[in-house]
Structure 1
Amino acid sequence: MAVSYLVALFCASAGKNGEELGSDEEQVILFVYLLYDVTNNKVVALQQHYVKPQPNELSETVLTEECKTETGLDENMIKNGQPLDHVLEEFDRFLYSKGVHPDHGGKSFCFVSDGPNHIRQCFHPETCNKNINLPAYFNKYYDLRKEFKKYYKTDVIKNIKAMLDYLGLEGDQSVEYGVRQCQEMASIVHRLINDGHVFGESDIVSERLEPGICSKNEFVDDNSVVRARGLPWQSSDQDIARFFKGLNISKGGVALCLSPQGRRNGEALVRFESEEHRDLAIRRHKHHIGQRYIEVYKATGKDFINVAGGSNTEAQAFLSRGGQVIIRMRGLPFTATTQQVYTSLQVF
C-alpha cells in the first residue's frame, strides 16, 4: 500500500560525508528532516537539529577539516547542540504533532533518503553503539536513487545533483548544507509524483539475526560474503550481527571459524542478503568492537560453505520448529542418555 507521507531524512557526520558517510565511525552531528504530503504533493514542514557528539578524548576539536570543507558547518553550533537521544525524542514528538506517528494512529509515513548510508551506516550502528533504542519506524525507507532509476529507467544516477540535472531542475545554494539536501530531495519527489511514480515496496532493515542451517550443497553467491578478522575470542554470532547493525545478514549467515582444537580463532564468515549489503559491510573495515578494530575483507561463497556448511537434517528440523540455538558438546560418555545431557545443561 502506498504511503500518505514521506520524511526526507539527511544526516552529516563529524568526519566523512557524501558517498563515504559512516565509513570512519565518526558521530552524527546534523539531523535534518522534511515532511512531505504525498497525497497533496507538497512540503509540510522542515526541521534541522545540530547534534552534540560524545566527547572524544583524543581530540579537542569536534569536526574534522574534511567535514568543515564538505559541509561548511560551524563547530560552535555543533558544540551547543543536543545529544543524539534528545534529538531523536524531538523527532518523535514532531511526528506526533503532525499526525503521522505510527504509535498514535497517525497516517502512514516512510523515510526517503539519498542512498542507504544515512540510515544503514549512521543511525543504526551509532544508536546501537550508544545503547539508544531506535524506533521501529527506522527499519524501513525508500532509497531515492533506486526509486528514480526504477521509474525513469536510467543507470547514470549517482547522487542528488545527478537527479536534478537529469530532470533539468536547479539546486538551491542559498541555504545551509543539510537543509539544501532535504529541499532538493523534495523537489525530486515532487517531480516523481507528478510524473506518476508510486512509492510502493520499501527497503527493510532487519531487526535481528535469524538462526538457520546452511547445507553443504547450498549455493552461496560469492558477492554476498565477507571475512571478519580480529574479533574478541568470546564474540558470539549476535555480537557480530551487532557490529554489522543496519545491514541485512542472511538467515544463519554468521559462521564462527574454529581452530584445529575447536576453539574460536577470532575470525568469522558473514553472509549478507545482497551484494549491496556486502559492499556496505566492507566499508566497516577497521571499525571497532570495544577497543579492538575489526578487519573486513571480501570472501567467497565457498569460504562460507567450508565453515558453515552442514548435512545434519535433525538440526535443520529443530530450527524449522522454532528452535533458537544449537550447541555442540564434545567428550560425552558413550553411555550418556538424553536426560543426562539435558540435566547437565540446566542452570541452577
Structure 2
Amino acid sequence: MERKTKNCTIRELARYVGLSTCTVSKVLNSPDAGLSIPESTRLKVREAAKKLNYVPNVNAQRFFKRRSFVIGLLVPPQEEMGHNAFHDTHFVDILSGIEQALSTTSYNLLLLFNRPEYKLENRYEGMFSSGFLDGLLIWGAHRSEEYWKELVEVTGPRIFLTSTPDFREDEPLHYVASDYGQSADGIAGRLKAAGCRRFCWLAGKPDTSIIPQLEAGMARAGVTVEESAIRYSDYTEADGERLAAELLQDGRFDALVATAPQLARGAGRYVETHKLPVRIGCFDGQRGTRSKTDHFISALTNDFEIGSVAITRLLALIEGKTQHVQVRIPVDFA
C-alpha cells in the first residue's frame, strides 16, 4: 500500500517553485490579488501544490478574503419547543435545502441553539463582531420576542426563515418564508367554491408571524373568522379533536380551517366519527407527510426551496450584491 505523502508547508512550496511565500500565498489564498501574477507562474504554483500535497492554511484564507466561511443556523432549544428541532419536518426539509445550496460553496454550517443564557450574554452578537460568523439564518422566531429586534440591529447579514418577529415594512428585516397569504386565500377560496360559508379556525400557537398572514389571506378570499370562532393551542391531533368538538357541537359552522395538519387530522377524526357536514382545510401541510387518510384539502409548503433560496440570498448579502431580502415561496395545493 502506497504511503501518503506528508503535507508540505507554504515555505517548502515557495522554495520548491523558487518564489516568495507572499507570491505563493496570493496565488493559492487570494484569487483577486493573484491576478497580477502571470498565468504561467500561477499554473506552476498550483501544479507544485498538488504534487507536494500542500493544504492551504484556513487562517491565511480568512485573512486574505476577510471571511470566516461559517454560516450560523440559530434554532430554539428543545425546552422551548417541547421537542428537538429535528422532530419538526419543516425544519428538516429546510435543512436539506441549505445543505444542497452550500455544497457548491466554500461555506460551512454551524448549528446554534438560542438558549436563554446565551441571549443574556449576547453570544451571537459577539460571534458577528469577532468575525467568527459571516452570516446567520434564524429559524423559529416568535413575534413578541424583543431579543430578535436587538439581533436585527447587528450589522452582520442575517435572514429569518419561515417566521419573523413583528416589524414595520420600513425596517431592515430579511426573511425567506412560505407564502401563507396565498395558502389561506387558496384554501378559503376552495372551501367557498364547495359551498361553505360559516368558518371556524384552529389557529395553533398565537405568537407566530404566520397568524396575521393567514388572516389577510382569508380576507382576500372574502372570509372573516370571528374571534369567538378561533381557538389557539399546541399543534397536536388531540387538541384538534378536542377543539373541533367544542366548536362544531352546535352545528353553527360548515367549514373548519386549521393552521397545521395535526390539528386538521384531529378535527377530521371528530367530523368523521360524528358524521358532520363540515369540510376541513389545512394551511400548512407537506407533500412528504401527507397521509392517505387525510380527507381534507391542504396547502403544501416548499420547505426545501426555502432553505436553498435562503443560502443563495444570504451569500448575496455577505458579498454585498444585494441589500434587501424579503422572499415568499409559493405553496402548492392537494
TM-score (norm 2): 0.27
Pair member with larger Rg: 2
Higher strand share: 1
TM-score (norm 1): 0.26
